[in-house]
A and B are shown apart, each in its own frame.
Chain A
Amino acid sequence: MTYTTLSLTLIFVLIPLILSKTLHLSLEKDTIIATIRSIIQLLIVGYVLKFVFDSDSFIYIFFMITLMIVAATLNARQKGRAIKGITWKIALTLIVVEVVTQGILLGLQIVPATAQYIIPISGMLIGNSMVLSILFLNRFTAEVESNKDSIELVLSLGGTPQQAIHTQLKNAIRASLIPTIESQKTIGLVQLPGVMSGQIIGGADPVVAVQFQILIIFALLTTASISSILIGMLSYPTLFNERMQFIKNATHK
Protein backbone atom coordinates (compact mmCIF):
# COMPACT_ATOMS: atom_id res chain seq x y z
CA MET A 1 0.00 0.00 0.00
CA THR A 2 1.39 3.44 -0.94
CA TYR A 3 1.15 6.51 1.31
CA THR A 4 -1.14 8.09 -1.31
CA THR A 5 -3.52 5.13 -1.03
CA LEU A 6 -3.25 5.24 2.76
CA SER A 7 -4.15 8.94 2.76
CA LEU A 8 -7.43 8.03 1.07
CA THR A 9 -8.43 6.15 4.23
CA LEU A 10 -8.78 9.56 5.91
CA ILE A 11 -12.28 9.46 4.36
CA PHE A 12 -13.08 7.14 7.29
CA VAL A 13 -12.14 9.99 9.63
CA LEU A 14 -14.03 12.56 7.62
CA ILE A 15 -17.35 10.65 7.87
CA PRO A 16 -17.57 10.72 11.71
CA LEU A 17 -16.40 14.37 11.69
CA ILE A 18 -19.24 15.37 9.35
CA LEU A 19 -21.75 13.31 11.38
CA SER A 20 -20.55 14.84 14.64
CA LYS A 21 -20.78 18.37 13.25
CA THR A 22 -24.23 17.79 11.71
CA LEU A 23 -25.71 16.19 14.83
CA HIS A 24 -23.91 18.58 17.26
CA LEU A 25 -22.18 15.71 19.07
CA SER A 26 -19.13 17.90 19.88
CA LEU A 27 -16.76 15.04 19.14
CA GLU A 28 -14.79 16.77 16.36
CA LYS A 29 -11.88 17.85 18.56
CA ASP A 30 -11.49 14.42 20.19
CA THR A 31 -11.76 12.68 16.82
CA ILE A 32 -9.00 14.86 15.33
CA ILE A 33 -6.74 14.36 18.38
CA ALA A 34 -7.34 10.59 18.27
CA THR A 35 -6.53 10.50 14.56
CA ILE A 36 -3.29 12.46 14.91
CA ARG A 37 -2.21 10.45 17.97
CA SER A 38 -2.86 7.11 16.28
CA ILE A 39 -0.90 8.15 13.18
CA ILE A 40 2.09 9.35 15.22
CA GLN A 41 2.03 6.44 17.74
CA LEU A 42 1.70 3.75 15.07
CA LEU A 43 4.40 5.29 12.87
CA ILE A 44 6.79 5.45 15.83
CA VAL A 45 5.96 1.84 16.76
CA GLY A 46 6.45 0.78 13.15
CA TYR A 47 9.92 2.33 12.95
CA VAL A 48 10.89 1.07 16.44
CA LEU A 49 9.76 -2.48 15.54
CA LYS A 50 11.69 -2.33 12.26
CA PHE A 51 14.81 -1.29 14.18
CA VAL A 52 14.33 -4.06 16.81
CA PHE A 53 13.58 -6.74 14.19
CA ASP A 54 16.63 -5.74 12.16
CA SER A 55 18.95 -5.74 15.17
CA ASP A 56 17.40 -9.00 16.56
CA SER A 57 19.03 -8.23 19.93
CA PHE A 58 17.54 -9.63 23.14
CA ILE A 59 18.29 -6.38 24.95
CA TYR A 60 15.90 -4.49 22.66
CA ILE A 61 13.29 -7.27 22.93
CA PHE A 62 13.55 -7.06 26.74
CA PHE A 63 13.28 -3.26 26.55
CA MET A 64 10.15 -3.43 24.35
CA ILE A 65 8.43 -5.93 26.66
CA THR A 66 9.30 -3.85 29.73
CA LEU A 67 7.80 -0.83 28.01
CA MET A 68 4.60 -2.77 27.26
CA ILE A 69 4.30 -3.93 30.89
CA VAL A 70 4.87 -0.40 32.24
CA ALA A 71 2.28 1.12 29.87
CA ALA A 72 -0.27 -1.63 30.61
CA THR A 73 0.28 -1.29 34.39
CA LEU A 74 -0.19 2.48 34.35
CA ASN A 75 -3.40 2.09 32.36
CA ALA A 76 -4.92 -0.73 34.45
CA ARG A 77 -4.11 0.76 37.87
CA GLN A 78 -6.60 3.61 37.31
CA LYS A 79 -9.43 1.15 37.99
CA GLY A 80 -8.15 -0.04 41.34
CA ARG A 81 -6.17 2.93 42.58
CA ALA A 82 -7.77 2.77 46.03
CA ILE A 83 -6.37 -0.72 46.58
CA LYS A 84 -3.08 -0.41 48.42
CA GLY A 85 -0.04 -1.26 46.27
CA ILE A 86 -2.17 -1.90 43.17
CA THR A 87 0.62 -0.75 40.79
CA TRP A 88 3.12 -3.43 41.78
CA LYS A 89 0.33 -6.04 42.03
CA ILE A 90 -0.67 -5.43 38.40
CA ALA A 91 2.98 -5.27 37.28
CA LEU A 92 3.73 -8.59 39.02
CA THR A 93 0.66 -10.18 37.39
CA LEU A 94 1.74 -9.03 33.92
CA ILE A 95 5.30 -10.25 34.50
CA VAL A 96 4.04 -13.67 35.64
CA VAL A 97 1.75 -13.89 32.58
CA GLU A 98 4.63 -13.01 30.25
CA VAL A 99 7.11 -15.40 31.89
CA VAL A 100 4.69 -18.35 31.98
CA THR A 101 3.37 -17.99 28.43
CA GLN A 102 6.69 -17.18 26.76
CA GLY A 103 8.36 -19.84 28.89
CA ILE A 104 6.03 -22.45 27.39
CA LEU A 105 6.10 -21.05 23.84
CA LEU A 106 9.87 -20.65 23.66
CA GLY A 107 10.82 -23.47 26.03
CA LEU A 108 8.91 -26.05 23.99
CA GLN A 109 10.06 -24.35 20.75
CA ILE A 110 6.45 -23.76 19.67
CA VAL A 111 7.55 -20.43 18.17
CA PRO A 112 11.06 -19.33 17.16
CA ALA A 113 12.93 -17.15 19.67
CA THR A 114 13.06 -14.08 17.43
CA ALA A 115 11.79 -10.54 17.89
CA GLN A 116 9.33 -11.02 15.03
CA TYR A 117 7.45 -13.62 17.13
CA ILE A 118 8.20 -12.63 20.73
CA ILE A 119 7.14 -8.97 20.50
CA PRO A 120 3.75 -9.28 18.74
CA ILE A 121 2.73 -12.29 20.85
CA SER A 122 3.83 -10.52 24.05
CA GLY A 123 1.84 -7.46 22.97
CA MET A 124 -1.31 -9.49 22.54
CA LEU A 125 -0.90 -11.42 25.79
CA ILE A 126 0.06 -8.40 27.92
CA GLY A 127 -2.75 -6.36 26.33
CA ASN A 128 -5.25 -9.10 27.09
CA SER A 129 -3.94 -9.42 30.63
CA MET A 130 -4.33 -5.66 31.10
CA VAL A 131 -7.95 -5.75 29.93
CA LEU A 132 -8.63 -8.74 32.22
CA SER A 133 -7.10 -6.89 35.17
CA ILE A 134 -9.31 -3.86 34.46
CA LEU A 135 -12.42 -6.06 34.14
CA PHE A 136 -11.55 -7.86 37.36
CA LEU A 137 -10.84 -4.68 39.36
CA ASN A 138 -14.04 -3.04 38.10
CA ARG A 139 -16.19 -5.98 39.12
CA PHE A 140 -14.32 -6.72 42.36
CA THR A 141 -14.61 -3.18 43.74
CA ALA A 142 -18.32 -3.10 42.79
CA GLU A 143 -18.91 -6.50 44.45
CA VAL A 144 -17.17 -5.40 47.65
CA GLU A 145 -18.99 -2.05 47.73
CA SER A 146 -22.42 -3.65 47.41
CA ASN A 147 -21.78 -6.56 49.80
CA LYS A 148 -20.16 -4.89 52.80
CA ASP A 149 -22.87 -6.23 55.13
CA SER A 150 -22.33 -9.83 53.98
CA ILE A 151 -18.55 -9.52 54.37
CA GLU A 152 -19.00 -8.12 57.87
CA LEU A 153 -21.51 -10.88 58.70
CA VAL A 154 -19.03 -13.67 57.92
CA LEU A 155 -16.32 -11.92 59.94
CA SER A 156 -18.71 -11.38 62.87
CA LEU A 157 -19.52 -15.12 62.93
CA GLY A 158 -15.83 -15.99 63.24
CA GLY A 159 -14.88 -16.35 59.57
CA THR A 160 -11.46 -15.45 58.17
CA PRO A 161 -10.98 -12.61 55.63
CA GLN A 162 -10.58 -15.23 52.88
CA GLN A 163 -13.93 -16.79 53.83
CA ALA A 164 -15.56 -13.36 54.12
CA ILE A 165 -14.48 -12.25 50.62
CA HIS A 166 -14.77 -15.66 48.92
CA THR A 167 -18.08 -15.04 47.10
CA GLN A 168 -17.12 -11.56 45.88
CA LEU A 169 -13.70 -12.79 44.71
CA LYS A 170 -15.21 -15.77 42.89
CA ASN A 171 -17.88 -13.62 41.21
CA ALA A 172 -15.30 -11.07 40.03
CA ILE A 173 -12.94 -13.77 38.69
CA ARG A 174 -15.81 -15.49 36.85
CA ALA A 175 -17.17 -12.22 35.44
CA SER A 176 -13.76 -11.17 34.11
CA LEU A 177 -13.10 -14.57 32.49
CA ILE A 178 -16.50 -14.99 30.81
CA PRO A 179 -15.87 -12.52 27.90
CA THR A 180 -12.66 -14.37 26.91
CA ILE A 181 -14.36 -17.78 27.01
CA GLU A 182 -17.52 -16.56 25.26
CA SER A 183 -15.64 -14.76 22.48
CA GLN A 184 -13.71 -17.96 21.77
CA LYS A 185 -16.94 -19.90 21.30
CA THR A 186 -17.89 -17.79 18.26
CA ILE A 187 -14.38 -17.15 16.96
CA GLY A 188 -14.19 -17.43 13.17
CA LEU A 189 -17.99 -17.46 12.88
CA VAL A 190 -18.81 -13.85 13.73
CA GLN A 191 -15.50 -12.14 13.09
CA LEU A 192 -12.07 -13.16 11.92
CA PRO A 193 -9.64 -12.50 14.74
CA GLY A 194 -6.81 -9.96 14.41
CA VAL A 195 -3.82 -12.25 14.01
CA MET A 196 -5.56 -14.36 11.38
CA SER A 197 -6.87 -11.34 9.45
CA GLY A 198 -3.43 -9.71 9.49
CA GLN A 199 -1.68 -12.80 8.22
CA ILE A 200 -4.25 -13.44 5.48
CA ILE A 201 -4.05 -9.82 4.29
CA GLY A 202 -0.27 -10.13 4.42
CA GLY A 203 -0.54 -13.04 1.96
CA ALA A 204 -0.11 -16.02 4.30
CA ASP A 205 -1.78 -19.38 3.72
CA PRO A 206 -5.17 -19.23 5.59
CA VAL A 207 -4.49 -22.65 7.19
CA VAL A 208 -1.16 -21.43 8.60
CA ALA A 209 -2.95 -18.26 9.79
CA VAL A 210 -5.53 -20.42 11.57
CA GLN A 211 -2.79 -22.48 13.26
CA PHE A 212 -1.27 -19.28 14.65
CA GLN A 213 -4.64 -18.02 15.74
CA ILE A 214 -5.29 -21.27 17.65
CA LEU A 215 -1.95 -20.85 19.41
CA ILE A 216 -2.94 -17.31 20.41
CA ILE A 217 -6.44 -18.15 21.67
CA PHE A 218 -5.12 -21.01 23.80
CA ALA A 219 -2.44 -18.74 25.24
CA LEU A 220 -5.09 -16.08 25.89
CA LEU A 221 -7.06 -18.56 28.02
CA THR A 222 -4.02 -19.03 30.24
CA THR A 223 -3.28 -15.30 30.47
CA ALA A 224 -6.92 -14.60 31.30
CA SER A 225 -7.13 -17.10 34.15
CA ILE A 226 -3.68 -16.28 35.57
CA SER A 227 -4.39 -12.54 35.41
CA SER A 228 -7.72 -12.43 37.21
CA ILE A 229 -6.87 -15.10 39.80
CA LEU A 230 -3.46 -13.63 40.62
CA ILE A 231 -4.62 -10.02 40.80
CA GLY A 232 -7.54 -11.22 42.97
CA MET A 233 -5.34 -13.16 45.39
CA LEU A 234 -2.93 -10.22 45.63
CA SER A 235 -5.68 -7.61 46.10
CA TYR A 236 -8.10 -9.02 48.65
CA PRO A 237 -5.74 -9.07 51.69
CA THR A 238 -5.39 -5.28 51.46
CA LEU A 239 -9.10 -4.95 52.32
CA PHE A 240 -8.43 -6.28 55.84
CA ASN A 241 -6.04 -5.32 58.63
CA GLU A 242 -3.95 -7.58 60.87
CA ARG A 243 -6.88 -7.95 63.34
CA MET A 244 -8.97 -9.42 60.47
CA GLN A 245 -11.08 -6.27 60.39
CA PHE A 246 -12.65 -5.05 57.17
CA ILE A 247 -11.26 -1.68 56.07
CA LYS A 248 -14.42 0.02 54.86
CA ASN A 249 -12.90 2.53 52.46
CA ALA A 250 -10.33 0.17 50.98
CA THR A 251 -11.97 0.01 47.55
CA HIS A 252 -12.77 3.67 46.89
CA LYS A 253 -11.11 7.02 47.34
Chain B
Amino acid sequence: MNKIDQAIQFQNVSFRRGELSILKNISGSIYKGKITTLVGPSGAGKTTLLKLCNGLISPTHGDLFIDQQSVLAYEPTTLRRNIGIVLQNAPILRGTVFDNLALPLKLQKKSLTKEEAISILDTVGLDESFLERDATELSGGQKQKLTISRTLINRSKILLLDEITSALDPVSVHEIEQLIKKINKKYDVTIIWITHNIQQAMELGDYIWVMMNGELVESGDISILSKTKNKQVQNFIQGNV
Protein backbone atom coordinates (compact mmCIF):
# COMPACT_ATOMS: atom_id res chain seq x y z
CA MET B 1 0.00 0.00 0.00
CA ASN B 2 1.14 3.57 -0.71
CA LYS B 3 1.54 6.25 1.90
CA ILE B 4 -1.47 7.95 0.35
CA ASP B 5 -3.60 4.97 1.38
CA GLN B 6 -2.65 5.33 5.03
CA ALA B 7 -5.34 6.94 7.18
CA ILE B 8 -3.31 6.64 10.39
CA GLN B 9 0.37 5.91 10.78
CA PHE B 10 1.97 5.05 14.12
CA GLN B 11 5.69 5.73 14.47
CA ASN B 12 7.31 4.23 17.57
CA VAL B 13 4.40 5.33 19.73
CA SER B 14 4.68 4.77 23.47
CA PHE B 15 2.42 5.91 26.25
CA ARG B 16 3.25 5.95 29.95
CA ARG B 17 1.13 6.95 32.90
CA GLY B 18 3.49 7.65 35.77
CA GLU B 19 5.69 4.57 36.16
CA LEU B 20 3.28 2.39 34.19
CA SER B 21 4.15 1.68 30.57
CA ILE B 22 0.82 1.19 28.76
CA LEU B 23 1.93 1.26 25.09
CA LYS B 24 5.40 0.24 23.97
CA ASN B 25 6.89 1.34 20.70
CA ILE B 26 3.89 0.79 18.41
CA SER B 27 4.55 1.19 14.68
CA GLY B 28 2.12 0.39 11.89
CA SER B 29 -0.48 1.75 9.49
CA ILE B 30 -4.26 1.82 9.34
CA TYR B 31 -5.54 1.89 5.75
CA LYS B 32 -8.16 4.22 4.32
CA GLY B 33 -11.66 2.89 3.81
CA LYS B 34 -10.81 -0.42 5.49
CA ILE B 35 -11.95 -2.07 8.71
CA THR B 36 -9.06 -2.91 11.02
CA THR B 37 -10.02 -5.05 13.99
CA LEU B 38 -7.94 -4.75 17.13
CA VAL B 39 -7.81 -7.75 19.44
CA GLY B 40 -5.97 -8.66 22.60
CA PRO B 41 -6.56 -9.48 26.24
CA SER B 42 -7.76 -6.92 28.78
CA GLY B 43 -5.06 -4.45 29.72
CA ALA B 44 -3.24 -4.84 26.37
CA GLY B 45 -3.54 -1.08 25.68
CA LYS B 46 -6.23 -1.21 22.98
CA THR B 47 -8.45 1.59 24.34
CA THR B 48 -5.38 3.75 24.98
CA LEU B 49 -4.43 3.33 21.31
CA LEU B 50 -7.89 4.58 20.21
CA LYS B 51 -7.75 7.54 22.59
CA LEU B 52 -4.40 8.55 21.07
CA CYS B 53 -6.00 8.67 17.62
CA ASN B 54 -8.86 10.89 18.83
CA GLY B 55 -6.46 13.16 20.75
CA LEU B 56 -7.97 12.45 24.17
CA ILE B 57 -4.39 11.66 25.20
CA SER B 58 -1.01 12.27 23.53
CA PRO B 59 1.91 9.88 23.06
CA THR B 60 4.66 10.22 25.64
CA HIS B 61 7.12 9.07 22.95
CA GLY B 62 6.93 8.76 19.15
CA ASP B 63 4.25 10.27 16.95
CA LEU B 64 1.17 9.32 15.00
CA PHE B 65 0.07 10.82 11.73
CA ILE B 66 -3.43 11.34 10.42
CA ASP B 67 -3.43 11.92 6.64
CA GLN B 68 0.37 12.35 6.79
CA GLN B 69 0.12 15.10 9.41
CA SER B 70 1.16 14.73 13.04
CA VAL B 71 -1.78 14.69 15.48
CA LEU B 72 -0.03 17.43 17.42
CA ALA B 73 -0.37 19.72 14.38
CA TYR B 74 -4.17 19.52 14.50
CA GLU B 75 -6.27 21.82 16.62
CA PRO B 76 -7.72 19.38 19.22
CA THR B 77 -11.42 20.07 18.57
CA THR B 78 -10.95 19.77 14.78
CA LEU B 79 -9.07 16.49 15.21
CA ARG B 80 -11.83 15.05 17.43
CA ARG B 81 -14.59 16.05 15.01
CA ASN B 82 -12.72 14.38 12.15
CA ILE B 83 -12.00 11.20 14.07
CA GLY B 84 -15.11 9.89 15.79
CA ILE B 85 -14.81 7.58 18.75
CA VAL B 86 -17.44 5.41 20.41
CA LEU B 87 -16.03 4.42 23.77
CA GLN B 88 -17.15 1.34 25.65
CA ASN B 89 -20.11 2.31 27.87
CA ALA B 90 -20.22 5.83 26.41
CA PRO B 91 -22.80 7.68 28.51
CA ILE B 92 -26.25 8.51 27.22
CA LEU B 93 -27.11 12.04 28.25
CA ARG B 94 -30.37 12.83 30.04
CA GLY B 95 -33.02 13.95 27.58
CA THR B 96 -34.52 12.66 24.37
CA VAL B 97 -32.86 10.76 21.55
CA PHE B 98 -32.94 14.03 19.57
CA ASP B 99 -31.11 15.87 22.41
CA ASN B 100 -28.35 13.27 22.29
CA LEU B 101 -28.08 13.43 18.50
CA ALA B 102 -27.98 17.24 18.56
CA LEU B 103 -25.04 17.37 21.00
CA PRO B 104 -22.11 17.27 18.50
CA LEU B 105 -23.57 20.17 16.49
CA LYS B 106 -24.59 22.08 19.62
CA LEU B 107 -20.90 22.02 20.64
CA GLN B 108 -20.18 23.87 17.37
CA LYS B 109 -23.05 26.29 18.05
CA LYS B 110 -25.03 24.77 15.18
CA SER B 111 -28.40 23.10 15.31
CA LEU B 112 -29.56 19.75 14.03
CA THR B 113 -32.67 19.68 11.83
CA LYS B 114 -35.37 17.07 12.34
CA GLU B 115 -34.73 15.75 8.81
CA GLU B 116 -31.01 15.24 9.54
CA ALA B 117 -31.86 13.47 12.79
CA ILE B 118 -34.34 11.14 11.02
CA SER B 119 -31.81 10.42 8.29
CA ILE B 120 -29.05 9.49 10.77
CA LEU B 121 -31.46 7.33 12.80
CA ASP B 122 -32.44 5.57 9.59
CA THR B 123 -28.75 4.77 8.96
CA VAL B 124 -28.55 2.91 12.27
CA GLY B 125 -31.91 1.19 11.78
CA LEU B 126 -34.06 3.24 14.15
CA ASP B 127 -37.23 4.90 12.92
CA GLU B 128 -38.59 8.41 13.39
CA SER B 129 -40.70 7.42 16.42
CA PHE B 130 -37.51 7.21 18.51
CA LEU B 131 -36.72 10.92 18.18
CA GLU B 132 -38.73 12.13 21.16
CA ARG B 133 -38.21 9.06 23.32
CA ASP B 134 -36.32 9.29 26.62
CA ALA B 135 -32.81 8.17 25.64
CA THR B 136 -32.04 6.73 29.07
CA GLU B 137 -34.90 4.25 28.74
CA LEU B 138 -33.77 2.61 25.49
CA SER B 139 -32.63 -1.03 25.43
CA GLY B 140 -28.91 -1.87 25.41
CA GLY B 141 -28.83 -2.38 21.64
CA GLN B 142 -30.80 0.80 20.95
CA LYS B 143 -28.50 2.79 23.24
CA GLN B 144 -25.48 1.46 21.39
CA LYS B 145 -27.03 2.44 18.06
CA LEU B 146 -27.68 5.89 19.47
CA THR B 147 -24.07 6.34 20.64
CA ILE B 148 -22.87 5.31 17.16
CA SER B 149 -25.31 7.65 15.38
CA ARG B 150 -24.36 10.51 17.76
CA THR B 151 -20.72 10.09 16.71
CA LEU B 152 -21.74 9.85 13.02
CA ILE B 153 -23.32 13.33 13.20
CA ASN B 154 -19.82 14.83 12.86
CA ARG B 155 -19.45 12.94 9.54
CA SER B 156 -15.99 11.73 10.58
CA LYS B 157 -13.83 9.99 7.98
CA ILE B 158 -12.34 7.74 10.65
CA LEU B 159 -14.44 5.88 13.20
CA LEU B 160 -12.97 4.27 16.32
CA LEU B 161 -15.13 1.66 18.05
CA ASP B 162 -14.31 0.30 21.50
CA GLU B 163 -16.03 -3.03 22.22
CA ILE B 164 -19.38 -1.70 21.15
CA THR B 165 -21.04 -5.13 21.05
CA SER B 166 -19.60 -6.69 24.19
CA ALA B 167 -22.73 -6.17 26.33
CA LEU B 168 -25.33 -6.99 23.67
CA ASP B 169 -27.48 -10.00 22.86
CA PRO B 170 -26.67 -12.01 19.67
CA VAL B 171 -29.43 -10.35 17.59
CA SER B 172 -28.23 -6.85 18.50
CA VAL B 173 -24.60 -7.88 17.88
CA HIS B 174 -25.52 -9.00 14.36
CA GLU B 175 -27.44 -5.77 13.69
CA ILE B 176 -24.53 -3.61 14.86
CA GLU B 177 -22.06 -5.64 12.76
CA GLN B 178 -24.20 -5.13 9.64
CA LEU B 179 -24.56 -1.45 10.48
CA ILE B 180 -20.80 -0.91 10.77
CA LYS B 181 -20.21 -2.74 7.46
CA LYS B 182 -22.84 -0.50 5.85
CA ILE B 183 -21.24 2.70 7.25
CA ASN B 184 -17.84 1.51 6.04
CA LYS B 185 -19.05 0.83 2.51
CA LYS B 186 -21.63 3.62 2.10
CA TYR B 187 -19.54 6.51 3.44
CA ASP B 188 -16.05 5.05 2.79
CA VAL B 189 -15.25 5.46 6.47
CA THR B 190 -12.01 4.02 7.88
CA ILE B 191 -12.79 1.93 10.95
CA ILE B 192 -10.74 0.61 13.86
CA TRP B 193 -12.81 -1.81 15.89
CA ILE B 194 -11.71 -3.20 19.23
CA THR B 195 -13.24 -6.57 20.01
CA HIS B 196 -12.57 -9.43 22.41
CA ASN B 197 -14.19 -11.79 19.97
CA ILE B 198 -11.66 -13.31 17.54
CA GLN B 199 -14.43 -14.73 15.38
CA GLN B 200 -15.97 -11.28 15.00
CA ALA B 201 -12.54 -9.77 14.31
CA MET B 202 -11.89 -12.28 11.52
CA GLU B 203 -15.32 -11.93 9.93
CA LEU B 204 -15.41 -8.15 9.87
CA GLY B 205 -11.81 -7.05 9.58
CA ASP B 206 -9.97 -6.38 6.34
CA TYR B 207 -6.91 -6.18 8.58
CA ILE B 208 -6.23 -7.33 12.10
CA TRP B 209 -3.93 -6.07 14.84
CA VAL B 210 -3.11 -8.21 17.86
CA MET B 211 -1.91 -6.41 20.97
CA MET B 212 -0.44 -7.89 24.14
CA ASN B 213 1.07 -6.13 27.16
CA GLY B 214 1.15 -2.80 25.36
CA GLU B 215 2.91 -4.18 22.28
CA LEU B 216 1.69 -4.76 18.74
CA VAL B 217 2.61 -8.44 18.32
CA GLU B 218 0.93 -9.21 14.99
CA SER B 219 -0.59 -7.11 12.20
CA GLY B 220 -1.70 -7.81 8.66
CA ASP B 221 -4.63 -9.36 6.83
CA ILE B 222 -6.69 -11.92 8.71
CA SER B 223 -4.60 -14.86 7.48
CA ILE B 224 -1.86 -13.83 9.94
CA LEU B 225 -3.84 -15.43 12.74
CA SER B 226 -3.53 -18.88 11.21
CA LYS B 227 0.14 -18.34 10.27
CA THR B 228 1.39 -16.83 13.51
CA LYS B 229 4.37 -18.44 15.23
CA ASN B 230 3.91 -16.31 18.34
CA LYS B 231 3.04 -18.67 21.23
CA GLN B 232 1.22 -15.96 23.18
CA VAL B 233 -0.97 -15.14 20.19
CA GLN B 234 -1.66 -18.82 19.52
CA ASN B 235 -2.75 -19.28 23.14
CA PHE B 236 -4.91 -16.18 22.99
CA ILE B 237 -6.64 -17.37 19.82
CA GLN B 238 -7.19 -20.87 21.20
CA GLY B 239 -8.67 -19.39 24.39
CA ASN B 240 -11.04 -17.26 22.36
CA VAL B 241 -12.29 -19.32 19.46
Contact = CB atoms under 8 A, between A and B. Distances in A.
B89 A156 contact: no
A156 B84 CA distance: 7
B91 A153 contact: yes
Given A163-B107, A244-B76, A155 B56 contact: yes
A166 to B, nearest CB: 10
A98 B57 CA distance: 40
Nearest to B160: A156
A149 to B, nearest CB: 5
B107 A156 contact: no
B93 A150 contact: yes
B85 A156 contact: yes
B57 A149 contact: no
B165 interface: no
Interface string A140-175: 000000000110111111111001000000000000
Interface in A158-200: 158-160, 163
Contacts of A245: 55-58, 76
B150 interface: yes
B56 A158 contact: no
B77 A160 contact: yes
A158 B81 contact: yes
A243 interface: yes
Contacts of A155: 56, 80
Nearest to A152: B56
B106 to A, nearest CB: 9
A156 B58 contact: no
Nearest to A149: B91
B108 interface: yes
A246 interface: yes
Given A163-B107, A246-B56, A156 B77 contact: no
Contacts of A156: 54, 56, 80, 85, 87
Given A245-B55, A245-B56, A158 B108 contact: yes
A247 to B, nearest CB: 10
B90 interface: yes
B129 interface: no
B164 to A, nearest CB: 14
Given A157-B150, A158-B104, A159-B107, A243 B58 contact: yes
B142 interface: no
Contact of B91 (A150, A159, A163): A150
A158 B80 contact: yes
Given A245-B56, A245-B58, A158 B77 contact: yes
Interface string B71-84: 01000111011001
Given A245-B56, A246-B56, A159 B77 contact: yes
Contacts of B89: 149
Nearest to A154: B107
Nearest to A167: B93
Contacts of B151: 157
Nearest to A242: B76
B91 A157 contact: no
B154 interface: yes
Contacts of A163: 107
Nearest to B81: A158
Given A163-B107, A244-B77, A153 B90 contact: yes
A167 B84 CA distance: 22
Quick one: which of B58, B80, B84 has the most chain A CB within 10 A?
Answer: B80
Given A157-B150, A158-B81, 12 more contacts: A149-B91, A154-B103, A155-B56, A156-B80, A157-B80, A158-B77, A158-B78, A158-B107, A160-B107, A243-B58, A243-B72, A243-B76
27 contacts: A149-B89, A149-B91, A150-B93, A152-B56, A152-B87, A153-B90, A153-B91, A154-B103, A155-B56, A155-B80, A156-B54, A156-B56, A156-B85, A157-B81, A157-B104, A157-B150, A158-B78, A158-B107, A158-B154, A159-B107, A160-B107, A243-B58, A243-B76, A244-B77, A245-B57, A245-B58, A245-B76
Interface of B: 54-58, 72, 76-78, 80-81, 84-85, 87, 89-91, 93, 103-104, 107-108, 150-151, 154
